[in-house]
């Protein structure tokens, strides 16, 4: 493994701006992986349509088999492969258990970056996505305010998402423009 490369794990509530940060870092030459891609790959293998109703039982199945750190554990080989060649931004750290596995495995090479936006801003962003073109990569999914609020509660209560946010090495406030978020990233990450 190339010990000089770094990994940034992005954490934040839905609509906070994780994908915006990931896309920006990728444009700067970073490698990319998404924690939840494992679930989408299984959905495709089974010939199913990617919806929350289809994905949720698959996530639960993986967590039953591998514990709450399933997405981190299952992604380690993919992360390591990317890290052999370049820095990595990993989008979608969710649970406290995932955080602990990554911290134990990568040590100081890992930086957890949280992105925060208040609920009303996030909900407006998610509802605006409903009117936008289809998201073929399933990275910027739309949601109604009620759907997003329900997801927030489930992620906080059932998936331990508050832990990685609280323990983040860096937190970006994303309440205005993407350009302002890019300025924050550049000032902190160079």
Per-residue model confidence as pLDDT tens digits over 135-184: 555 566 778 899 889 889 988 998 889 999 999 999 999 999 999 999 99
Where exactly are the structural domains of the chain?
A: 7-117+162-189
Percent of the chain at pLDDT exceeding 90: 78
Mean pLDDT of 98-124: 97
Q: What is the per-residue pLDDT for 137?
A: 56
What CATH number was assigned to the domain covering residues 7-117+162-189? 3.40.50.300
- Residues 65-87 pLDDT 10s: 999 999 999 999 999 999 999 99
3-state secondary structure the chain: CCCCCCEEEEECCCCCCHHHHHHHHHHCCCEEEECCHHHHHHHHHCCCCCCHHHHHHHHHHHHHHHCCCHHHHHHHHHHHHHHCCCCEEEECCCCHHHHHHHHHHHHHHEEEEEEECCHHHHHHHHHHHHHCCCCCCCCCCCCCHHHHHHHHHHHHHHCCCHHHHHCCCEEEECCCCHHHHHHHHHHHHC
pLDDT at residue 1 above 90?
no
Average pLDDT of the chain?
A: 92
Q: What is the per-residue pLDDT for 140?
A: 63
pLDDT at residue 11 above 70?
yes
């Amino acid at each position: 493994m190339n010990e000089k490369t770094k990994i940034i794990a992005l954490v934040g509530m839905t609509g906070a701006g994780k994908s915006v940060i990931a896309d920006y870092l990728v444009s700067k030459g970073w490698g990319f992986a998404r924690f939840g891609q494992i679930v989408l790959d299984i959905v495709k293998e089974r010939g199913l349509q990617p919806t929350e109703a289809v994905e949720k039982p698959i996530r639960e199945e993986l967590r039953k088999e591998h514990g709450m750190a399933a997405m981190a554990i299952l992604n380690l080989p993919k992360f390591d492969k990317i890290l052999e060649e370049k820095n990595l931004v990993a989008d979608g750290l969710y649970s406290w258990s995932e955080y602990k596995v990554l911290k134990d495995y990568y040590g100081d090479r890992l930086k957890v970056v949280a992105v925060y936006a208040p609920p009303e801003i996030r909900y407006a962003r998610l509802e605006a996505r409903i009117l936008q073109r289809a998201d073929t990569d399933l990275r910027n999914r739309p949601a109604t305010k009620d759907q997003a609020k329900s997801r927030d509660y489930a992620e906080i209560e059932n998936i331990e998402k508050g832990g990685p946010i609280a323990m983040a090495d860096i937190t970006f406030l994303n309440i205005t423009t993407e350009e302002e978020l890019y300025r924050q990233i550049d000032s902190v990450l160079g």
